[in-house]
Structure 1
Amino acid sequence: MTHNHHENLSMMDAVTTKYGRTTFVTVSKTLAIILVVIFFICLIATGLLVYSFSSTCSTNDTVSLESEALKVTDNTSVLCEPNRKDSVKKVYSEPEYVSPTVLLTTTPTSTRKPLTEPSSTKASQDTDIRLPKSIVPEYYTLHLVPFIQEGNFTFNGEVTIRIKVLNSTDNITLHADTLKIENVGVMNVKNESVSVKDVRTVEAKEFLVIDLDEDLDQGQQYYVHIVFKGILNDMLEGFYRSSYVENNVTRWLAATQFQATDARKAFPCFDEPAFKAKFQINLARLNNMSTISNMRKIGTTEEVKDLPGYVWDHYEETLKMSTYLVAFVVSDFHYISKGIFSIWAKPSSLAQANYSLEIGPKILKYYEMFFGIKYPLPKVDMVAIPDFSAGAMENWGLITYREPVLLYEEGISSKFNKQRAAHVVAHELAHQWFGNLVTPVWWEDLWLNEGFATYVEYLGSHFVNPKWKDLDLFLVNELQESLSLDALKSSHPISVKVNNPDEVGDLFDKISYSKGASIIRMMKFFLGNEVFQKGLKKYLENRIYSNAEQDDLWNTLTEESLEFKVLPENVTVKEIMDTWTLQTGYPVVTAIREKNGDLKITQERFLLDRKENELDKTLWWVPITVVDDDNKTKKTWLKNERQIEIKQALSQDNKWYLVNLHQNGYYRVNYNEENWKAIVDRLQGNGHRHIHARNRAQILDDSFKLAGAGYLSYDIALNTTLYLRFEKEYVPWKAALTNFQFIYNMFVRSGHFDKFKAYVTALIADFYKELTFKEANNEDPLMILNRMEIIRYTCHLGYKDCILEAVQQFQNWRNSPNPDLENTINPDLRETVYCTAISDGGQEEWDFAWNMYLSSNVEGDKEIILSALSCSKEVWILSRYLEWSITEDSGIRKHDTAKVFACVSENPIGHDLVYSFLKTNWKRITKYLGSSSSSFSSIITTTTAKFNTEEEVNDFKSFFQRNKEEFGVAFRTAQQAIELGEANTVWMKKYFNTVVSWFKNTKLY
């Protein structure tokens, strides 16, 4: 894919600062005299300022540079320390790493540009946010001094970047955001300075532009030295601050989160994934703290001169890597180690790191075998950060996590927490190859990172915990979830052009992750394991330490497929996969048996908002598998065409057939009424065991979604659930309950909710009684998941026995002598027990749970309590809870704000309340979270999810129109929310009465 190049930023847009000749202006004699007087006053003032600055903040004789030898010398560099009374003190002594071939002296004062604020360029109409390609970085030497304990939460820094000029240019353009640039200097490799004409910013693009008085020569190397200051922000992005409380003392730390475009908030850099370089990082810290970074520490120098209590930590140079993967943490954490693995956490939580330390090395070794390439770094550090916006981040060699997804406490954390830890660790370790070793050229191919990591995480987790049946769970956790979102017209292709930083953040959604993973799983299915793995290995080897586009992957996979002849003749992987990555949506495949046994297969795009007589012309290459009632399988291709016929696909004796074996293909399947009825009949009693659990989950999910979009009768879709009385497998139950939840949401505010409640309660009552609240010894893991889901839903529906048991267990815990240490409630059922008791109780129950939340040291348990606190039926309590979620120091961490909103939205009493709260506190919420936060998108999604009236949808449309400039990364999310709300409104008009009638007339016994 080609991109626009901007070799000369002075021509970038109409409002960029320009230099050149200007026209003359005549002035009066009086005005001229006044101007001369002002000039001399300014001249004198400038002289005094220069004298003052030079006496307090002079630079000395050398500029720090990288080197292969990494030899420390005594040369120093000086910066003014921010926000301190003794501002004339040196901030740090900078150890210099001297190149064996070149040593540069300080740029003369006349050519080094001292700054207070760079001149600013306002937002441009030009939407291209890409850097010019005239210059590439080769090596960064970075020094940072974070002031964590002083209370001002700032940092000082210096960076020296060795650049190479690909095309002659008179400016150096890189990224910087929210940094104060103090000083800029440019030199060539002969120690000769390059005169800096101006330094300016382009705010709309987060560019820092260094304009020069002469052109840089093509093919030559130069050094850019920048002195800067920044803020350790509280927005969980860039270089930011976090804290925890231990022994009633607040402990502070500094951590990084750079993906996708926030490295520029920590240091000036070429902050695009294609601009790979090596980094040599140096971090200053207090004596009682520690630092970690991507590579191993190679030494600590003596105490920093004129900054008592501070020392320097120096790190090995990295491999060639992208800026978003650079990472460092400054803290007083402790760690445990096993081989090359170390896990860091606050001291009181370190014992909870044992499980992740046990599985991490096993998963890494499995991936080395799977990818056929050894892990290239000397160590893996994994860190549990108290405040962290994402679930985890795959920084090369230093993986950062939100605490509850890395830590697991046996007997307190749930099995779900244990499973989640395995998945997240597996996901981030997969990135060490897919994303870190080979990186997408640009964010439009983010899915190459996230889709592969999401799919491969299931392979890694399955390797260490095969009893969890992760390969089955993929269907309900990823594939079916993404099919729901991808049915919207406001969905987007997997590979999509990005025009601004907000749109980069917008791509971190289920399409990039879950759809990406699903089409990779589909591709592995039609290529076969051997071709798939050999192709991946060749792709990684060909692009190692470099960048790639999706076509690079398609080409290597095609080479392997030709050797093994697994594709139709003259067909490439690109031809097939482009239909899945470059087009929005997916097909519904309709399979109808002819009287002679032929099978007619047609495709059309599946849309939730389906218009009669309006056929979307999009077509896909669809891998078709047909399974008959004798368990015989036929395979063919629907080759980017509307329909095909499979001759003699079925015998006259076949009563039913299924398409899409194990739901390997990313599409839905519809049949004629005759085959649907035959499938429903086959599911009854023990007959369902003749159909694989994955296909039973597919039948349930496809039928409900087809009915909701008007492709299928709701009577048939609901009839597929009748057999669930006999179902014991988790995956079909999960698919069913997910689809029941949609109907729950549509019914819960209506006068017919009792009919839905009666049917589903009768459906699950026997299984609920069989499972009970008590876990058996050595119980199958999927039965544990069944218990969690079935009991949660049974209590959710108000089943009396379930509520009484939950309330009794909660009260026993509450009345125990020491509830902090004596909680006998099954960890896997705590969320249900807590929620049910708080819903049934009042302020006393809520306050008790809140105090347990504040005192708990197990983050997984805190998460569970946080969810349960939203179950109150007291409107004032829910209002206060929402208020606390956007209040500093309330006890709710900023990264949990979205969770509070989501959980209150799930409460029927809280749904209208949370939407009203969102509108009333819009400005405050956007300021608190920042419109670039992924939490913001999540809040929009959950707050609007149950809209099903024109009044609700129109109100949100109006709200969106008034505030759409402030939606940031949630802009597409808001459009999807509107489309879903409109679809729900249509559903209520078209299908509500039909579904009411079915529940009213259907009896299970």
Structure 2
Amino acid sequence: MTHAREDFAVMEATVTTFGKQRFVAVSKALALFIFILFVGCIIGTALLVYHLSSCQPISKFEETTLIVYDKHSDLEVTTTSEEVVTESVSTTTEEIKTEELDVRLPRSVKPHSYAIRLIPFIVEGNFTFHGEVTILINVTVTTFNVTLHADDLAIDRVNVYDFNNEILSIRQVTNETRRQFLIIHMNEPLKSGHQYYVSISFKGVLNDLLQGFYRSSYSVNNELRWIATTQFQATDARKAFPCFDEPALKARFQISLARLKNMTSISNMPKIGSPEPVKNLPDYFWDHYEESLPMSTYLIAFVISDFDCLKNGSFSVWARPSALSQTKYSLQIGPQILQFYENFFGIKYPLPKIDMIGLPDFSAGAMENWGLITYRESVLLYEEKVSSKASLQRIAHVIAHELAHQWFGNLVTPVWWSDLWLNEGFATYVECLGANAVNPHLKELDQFVINELHGALVLDALRTSHQISIKVNNPDEINDIFDRISYSKGASILRMMQHFLSMRVFQKGLNRYLKSRMYSNAEQDDLWHTLTLQSHEDKVLDQNVTIKEIMDTWTLQTGFPLVTAYRNYENDSVTFTQERFLVNDDDQRSKSVLWWIPITYTNPKNVLRSNWMRNEQILTIHELKQPKNHWLLVNVNQTGYYRVNYDPRNWNLIVQQLLKKNGHLVFDPKNRAQLLDDALHLASVGYLDYNIALNVTKYLKQEREYVPWKAALTSLDYLYQMFVRTAHFDKYKKYLLDLLNDFYHELGFNESENDQHLTSYNRLEINSRACRLGVRDCIINAVQQFESWRNSPDPDKRNLISENLREIVYCTAISVGGQEEWDFAWKRYLNANVENEKETLLMALGCSKEIWILSRFLEWSITENSGIRKHDSARVFAAVTSNPIGQQLAYRFLKTHWNRLRTYLGASSMSLSSIVRSCTTKFNSQIEVDDFKMFVDARENEFGVALRTARQSIEQGEANAKWMMRYSEKIVKWLSVNV
């Protein structure tokens, strides 16, 4: 994956609800019986307490349920004569901490195969679904219980029977809400080595929270068209059907879906047979699908819609009929990337087909469901002359990421979510290889350092970061680690390992690993073992060293090292030291944490050397063999996941080299990006004098490569955020404009037909800063183009603004304009048929300087039917907080409407985490930080998946506040002299 529950009022009352809804309807006779039983229990309890006070208490997590069972029957819409009658007891667990819960299922029972039948109702307006699942289970240890997952489902019937179709006696069924367990208690044992069938009928709601089995919609000529679709990762398959919802419990799945005759359904596997009418439901037909290969529940997917598709052999891309033409690019590159991976991994794609579908509402970027990959429209659909070149690259990356998962994640799956990074880290690294295979001119491998590595270093410099491989329990903790650590840091350490092993050995080891664990599960130690065997066989690693010994220091420890190179210019030696890099260490440097670090270094003569820092704090290299006046560069091509500092003399030698005419060209673009990023971050926490760090940026006047400029601007944007609300912002503004002035005029505001892809990227980065900092020429160009668009006869069909400049033009014109410009852009947003264009407009709408407009924009972002889809709520907050005027406004809105946000998005939504981050990470005063601390402390149990994000924002805010006190005056002095 590249992230208000409704009750069941529309359904029959006599049901058991497994989830957060709690209600019951019973007959008068049964109510009287229960009352008498209740009174008897009270009297009995009073008599027994004295005698039985030494007995063990019942688990606080247990909710008992009285159930009457019906025989196994076909799934029908009509009710049977014997329905389940329930009585639930609320769980009292306030004093039990979430992290103390054991949420893992017992291993006495494992699933072998599932038969699932589902009928979603998406046109009548009740948005429910009826279902039945029959699970063939293997009993590994004799047991009286079957424990599986169910959440937000109403259970009608439960039966357990053997291969002779004999129904076994069930004592009761209990529901542990917090662990989302459905426990079937048997009156007779299920015997080890035997197989049984568990059959459950259930009902649920097609929710609007973009989780589990949910509903989506789109409009055609003001008519709403409905879709039923899924998003199960990480723990939401249990919202669609009762199941053993853990990645290690793989099974085969045979799925049947009911749909209206004018709609289609798709799932992981191809259809079999012809559609069959649904009993008692005119116009509904069953689609049956082939049984799947062994797979985890979170990879199951199905979609019922009226979409169309384009095909390329066994590869299909689905979209709304009006957007079908936008699937051509994805259909072109998808099979190419798939073939690249088949060659790279040495294993053929194992399923008979791949469907990819763009969904109007989708919480994550995309989801790698085996054989049916689901996407947001913006990362699958591409329209020539509307979607930008950046969108084209983004689509290639996301498709490459999800296709990489077909091997890493689907074919071989982590045993548990602690090793999520085995999925996401691999897919993030390998996506660069896949995207590079179809777009080699984009220098994808160079862009890795700015797109993945540098961002990971920023987050991982916080104490509130986490290990790559980390213990997780409840669903909030699991969703919490779908972050830059699992994705970007995971990818970065894999890239580092690939370089010290070589690509040939790395590939051979991956092939060996995948073949040894295919259709099964693995932990990171399984990968380390396989790569060790391969590296020893190919003699690229010391026989006394294992990959586990090296890589555990990177996956089981939080953070990353700062490597400092101290040269002795008299005896021609260099000493390397390592310590953990932290943004907020209060001068107490962390010496105790050590890593195995592959040290690479070079000099002006391009002599490349390498050594290992073997989990040691100091490494000295004698006879460096280079003149005193030659610089030393460490971490060649920034392949290592660490920052580098030098003694001041070596830093000055590097600066001198950079400032020579074309002197910067002796360094690879990746290392120029590294020098800029490292220098400014080292200075921001006191490791390096800011005078030296800022001197490094002076050479940018002659830089023309995209990767170094992007790294520089990202780091300099931190100074923008710190100074933009101060009296000294003019000095920052003057210096940055001086750096980019020549390049701005070379690039120009308008595109040329001969522009290279990365030239367009440079123009976007440079011009956006120019307009933001008030360059008159830039603003005039942007406003003129926007006004020409406004005055065109049909602006929804005729927009002559270059697709690669629209981000700048829209934002600038709305920023200097008023309500008319905003309303015009809002109308274009509502009418746009291309999701890339809608995203560009949505971000630009946050550029307004009108506080009331921004307030209304935030309000609309969490208002039903406002025109802003739920998955874009977080994008609105990001847009508003990117605007200096909107930062405090959005934070106040967050606090004022906290409960409403949680209800609208869902307390477990990753969008909530994104909103918290957007609203709080730019704090740079202790007053702001303390205010947010108080807010979090008062509502800590409400933050859920956003709690770690909140703590990270607090830590970053404290670091920003200290930065303002320690360094702002020094930087102002430097800027005053150098502008």
Aligned to 2:802: 826
CA contact (8 A) 1:115 1:181 kept: no
Judge which range, 301-310 or 634-643, deviates more: 301-310
Aligned to 1:676: 651
Distance 1:923 1:209 in 2: 33
Aligned to 2:618: 643
Equivalent position SS for 1:78: coil
The one-letter code matched in structure 2 to 1:527 is L
2:771 matches 1:795: yes
Assess, with a 3 A threshold, how the Cα gap between structure 1 residues 133 and 119 changes in structure 2: closer, same or farther.
Answer: farther
Assess, with a 3 A threshold, how the Cα gap between structure 1 residues 614 and 466 changes in structure 2: closer, same or farther.
Answer: closer
Aligned to 2:741: 765
CA contact (8 A) 1:599 1:650 kept: no
Distance 1:145 1:822 in 2: 43
Equivalent position SS for 1:342: strand
CA contact (8 A) 2:248 2:413 kept: yes
Aligned to 2:821: 845
Distance 2:237 2:592 in 1: 42
Aligned to 2:682: 706
Equivalent position SS for 1:794: helix
Distance 1:454 1:145 in 2: 36
The one-letter code matched in structure 2 to 1:420 is R
Aligned to 1:885: 861
What is the correspondence of 1:496-575 to structure 2 with a 5 Å cutoff? 496-575=470-549
The one-letter code matched in structure 1 to 2:933 is K
Distance 1:23 1:908 in 2: 63
Assess, with a 3 A threshold, how the Cα gap between structure 1 residues 202 and 764 changes in structure 2: closer, same or farther.
Answer: same
CA contact (8 A) 2:154 2:202 kept: yes
Aligned to 1:942: 918
Distance 1:522 1:233 in 2: 43
Distance 1:117 1:995 in 2: 68
Distance 1:346 1:305 in 2: 29
Q: 2:964 aligns with which of 969, 972, 988?
A: 988
Aligned to 2:141: 167
Distance 1:465 1:651 in 2: 40
Equivalent position SS for 2:623: coil
Q: Deviations over 1:570-601 (max 9, x none)?
A: 00000000000000000000011112211111
Aligned to 1:223: 197
2:435 matches 1:461: yes
Query: 5+ unaligned residues in a row in structure 1: which ranges?
Result: 1-20, 29-48, 64-75, 81-87, 91-108
Aligned to 2:211: 237
Distance 1:638 1:649 in 2: 16
The one-letter code matched in structure 1 to 2:326 is Q
The one-letter code matched in structure 1 to 2:580 is R
Distance 1:434 1:910 in 2: 41
Structure with bigger RCO (C-alpha 8 Å, 6+ apart): 2
2:25 matches 1:25: no
Equivalent position SS for 1:229: strand
Offset of residue 468 of structure 1: 0.5
The one-letter code matched in structure 1 to 2:382 is Y
Aligned to 2:423: 449
Aligned to 1:750: 726
The one-letter code matched in structure 2 to 1:768 is Y
Q: 2:633 aligns with which of 658, 680, 697?
A: 658
Q: Deviations over 1:29-85 (max 9, x none)?
A: xxxxxxxxxxxxxxxxxxxx99xxx9xxx86xx65xxxxxxxxxxxx44343xxxxx
Aligned to 2:290: 316
Equivalent position SS for 1:853: helix
2:662 matches 1:690: no
Q: 2:382 aligns with which of 390, 402, 408?
A: 408
Aligned to 1:733: 709
Equivalent position SS for 2:805: helix
The one-letter code matched in structure 1 to 2:579 is E
Assess, with a 3 A threshold, how the Cα gap between structure 1 residues 627 and 654 changes in structure 2: closer, same or farther.
Answer: farther
Distance 2:445 2:883 in 1: 32
The one-letter code matched in structure 1 to 2:578 is Q
Offset of residue 263 of structure 1: 0.2
Judge which range, 783-792 or 354-363, deviates more: 783-792
Offset of residue 133 of structure 1: 0.8
Equivalent position SS for 1:204: coil
Q: Deviations over 1:888-928 (max 9, x none)?
A: 10000000000000110010110010000000000000111
Distance 2:883 2:700 in 1: 26
Query: 5+ unaligned residues in a row in structure 2: which ranges?
Result: 1-39, 48-66
CA contact (8 A) 2:75 2:201 kept: no
Aligned to 1:854: 830
Assess, with a 3 A threshold, how the Cα gap between structure 1 residues 632 and 26 changes in structure 2: closer, same or farther.
Answer: closer
What is the correspondence of 1:120-269 to structure 2 with a 5 Å cutoff? 121-123=91-93, 126-269=100-243
- Give the total of aligned pairs: 916
The one-letter code matched in structure 1 to 2:194 is Q
Offset of residue 968 of structure 1: 0.6
CA contact (8 A) 1:445 1:549 kept: yes
The one-letter code matched in structure 2 to 1:450 is E
Offset of residue 809 of structure 1: 0.6
Equivalent position SS for 1:909: helix
Offset of residue 964 of structure 1: 0.9
Q: 2:943 aligns with which of 954, 962, 967?
A: 967
CA contact (8 A) 2:907 2:944 kept: yes
Equivalent position SS for 1:805: helix
Equivalent position SS for 1:1001: helix
Offset of residue 778 of structure 1: 3.4
Aligned to 1:38: none
Aligned to 2:908: 932
Distance 2:563 2:625 in 1: 17
Aligned to 1:605: 580
Q: Deviations over 1:190-245 (max 9, x none)?
A: 22221111112101101111111111101110100000000000000000000001
Offset of residue 26 of structure 1: 10
Q: 2:269 aligns with which of 265, 277, 295?
A: 295
Distance 2:561 2:279 in 1: 67
The one-letter code matched in structure 1 to 2:526 is D
Assess, with a 3 A threshold, how the Cα gap between structure 1 residues 373 and 249 changes in structure 2: closer, same or farther.
Answer: same
Judge which range, 924-933 or 354-363, deviates more: 924-933
Distance 1:719 1:821 in 2: 49
Q: 1:908 aligns with which of 868, 873, 884?
A: 884
Distance 1:751 1:157 in 2: 64
Distance 1:540 1:198 in 2: 43
Equivalent position SS for 2:174: strand
The one-letter code matched in structure 2 to 1:650 is K
The one-letter code matched in structure 2 to 1:114 is V
Offset of residue 569 of structure 1: 3.7
Q: Deviations over 1:590-626 (max 9, x none)?
A: 0111122111111001111123244341000000001
The one-letter code matched in structure 2 to 1:589 is V
Aligned to 1:96: none
Distance 2:605 2:46 in 1: 99
CA RMSD of aligned residues (A): 1.8
Q: 1:628 aligns with which of 596, 603, 607?
A: 603
Equivalent position SS for 2:327: helix
CA contact (8 A) 1:120 1:201 kept: no
